Amino acid sequence: MSKTMFVTVIAFCVLLFTSCGAKKPSVPSLDGDISVQGTLCVSGLEAKVSLSRADGVWTASFTSPESINGLELTISKNKLGSKLDGISFELPTDTKGYENILCPIINAIDNAESYTDAKESGGICTVIGTGEDGGWQITAASDGSIISVTVGDVSFAAEEENKDTDS
């Protein structure tokens, strides 16, 4: 057997054995419509919110604290709609405050397929990645139900009984 053939066979065996040993985690899809209720935390402040995505448009409906109960934000690619107590208006998405609070969570979910690492245990998958808002981590059930999303000091934790996705 020639030296070239021997090196080729060895390289093939090494590749075969290193790729067979590690089981790749089953990463759930976070595409499609999403609806989840939970707690949004930013720099120690908490708010109860229902997040949903339908046809690429996000809606965030706040139920607490009392000062923002009933606030509804609608977020599309280039505009932010806001409605509270019958008053509504639209702003460009580069409006300060919006960018610092909701964008990191929404961007992480929208870009979940670009993860750099994934781990799976007991039907729960954690995907880790980086984006324009920095590093992020999403934990989801095997059916795509979001359990939590963390980006820097912004986090979202879903309520158990309200997790739901439709991919």
- Identify the pLDDT of residue 141: 92
- Identify the pLDDT of residue 79: 83
Q: Which helix (H) or strand (E) holds 99?
A: helix 98-101
Q: 142 with 26: CB under 8 angstroms? A: yes
pLDDT over 50 at 163, yes or no: no
Domain 31-162 has CATH 2.50.20.10: yes
Q: Which of 95, 81, 101 is closest to 40 using CA atoms? A: 101
Domain ranges in the chain are 31-162
- Lowest mean pLDDT: which of 57-61, 67-71, 93-97, 114-118? 93-97
Q: Which two tokens stand for residue 167?
A: 């991919």
| Residue that wins the pLDDT comparison between 143 and 101 | 143
pLDDT per residue over 64-111, tens digit each?
999 999 999 998 877 888 899 889 988 876 767 666 678 889 999 999
Report the half-sphere exposure of 151 (CA within 13 A, side-chain side): 22
Q: Per-residue confidence at 48, pLDDT binned at 50, 70, 90?
A: very high
Which residues are 73's β-sheet partners? 60, 82
pLDDT over 90 at 22, yes or no: no
Averaged pLDDT score across all residues of the chain: 81
Phi, psi of 161 (to 5 degrees): -75, -5
Specify the amino acid at residue 18. Answer: T
Which residues are 50's β-sheet partners? 37, 61
